[in-house]
Amino acid sequence: MHDHLLTPEQRAVRDEARAFARDVPRRLLLDMDAERVRYPREYVKEAAARNLLGLRFPKEYGGRGLGWASEILAIEEVGVLGTSLGCLYSLPSIVGEAIHRFGTEDQKKRYLRPTLEGKLMTAEALTEPRGGSDFFGTTTTARREGDTFVLSGQKRFVVGAEGADYFLVYARTDPDAAPHKGISAFLVDRGPGVEVAHVYGLMGTRGGGTGRLVFRDARVPAENLIGRLNGGAEVFYRMMVPERLTSAAG
């Protein structure tokens, strides 16, 4: 973006992000491409240490309270490092949008703030083996059992799956409802019933931990439902804003 269009604050953020990208070791990029590094956790932690993750989120949750322009400027700078590192840098913004817009205060404290502080790694589980990007064709299910939901199904091409501590997962909660009215969103911790079954060695995106997730009766606390029950479409539509903007920028 041209300098004359930027405020002094925006130029400062851009320069910070540029310095961060410049400081990433060349060896890390080579090791990722050779698959000696399958998930660069320290890279994400360093971005967090410089307070460069989720710039637009409020300060109380670990952001800086800046606008979209500042965040896009930062992503443009980080994007020179390649697809894997650009995507991993953007994930806190993408998943964070769902938590910030639809999450409870408790969810923001347990997930959003630690993510922006680099204490938790996150990933978004959307695509499925049978449907590509057909969100409303979701076959992963979540059935209610008391104060938990039991998830079963698969997701694939999940960027950051190898290193994520938790996932934003969409699952069908009402099989009898219309496709856009029977899906819910959940924050699913890595643990029993959640398996990274395969890590894809995709050309140009190696080292980013892109993998296939399998849920085998994974139990998720009901308090980890994001937004309202069967309201996953609302979360999805909102989350597409940062996903498309960050993809275009980085």
pTM: 0.93
CATH 1.10.540.10 fits 3-120+244-249, yes or no: yes
Q: 178 CB contacts (<8 Å, ≥6 apart)? A: none
Residue 126's CB: how many other CB atoms inside 10 A? 23
Are the folds of 3-120+244-249 and 123-230 the same?
Answer: no
Dist. CA 194–CA 186, nearest whole Å: 13
Dist. CA 62–CA 118, nearest whole Å: 10
Closest CA to 173 of 147, 143, 153: 143
Assess whether 97 carries a catalytic annotation. Answer: no
In terms of CATH architecture, what is 123-230?
Beta Barrel (2.40)
Catalytic residue among 16, 76, 128, 243: 243
Q: At what angle do helices 41-49 and 83-102 cross, to 10 degrees?
A: 60
Pairing state between β 148-158 and 211-221:
antiparallel
Kindly indicate the confidence band of residue 161, based on its pLDDT and cuts at 50, 70 and 90.
very high
Question: Which residue spans within 74-165 are E strands per DSSP?
Answer: 122-125, 141-145, 148-158
Domain boundaries, the chain: 3-120+244-249, 123-230
Kindly tell me the burial class for residue 212, based on how many C-beta atoms sit within 10 Å of its own C-beta (0-12, 13-18, 19 or more): buried
pLDDT in tens, 24-67: 999 999 999 999 999 999 999 999 999 999 999 999 999 999 99
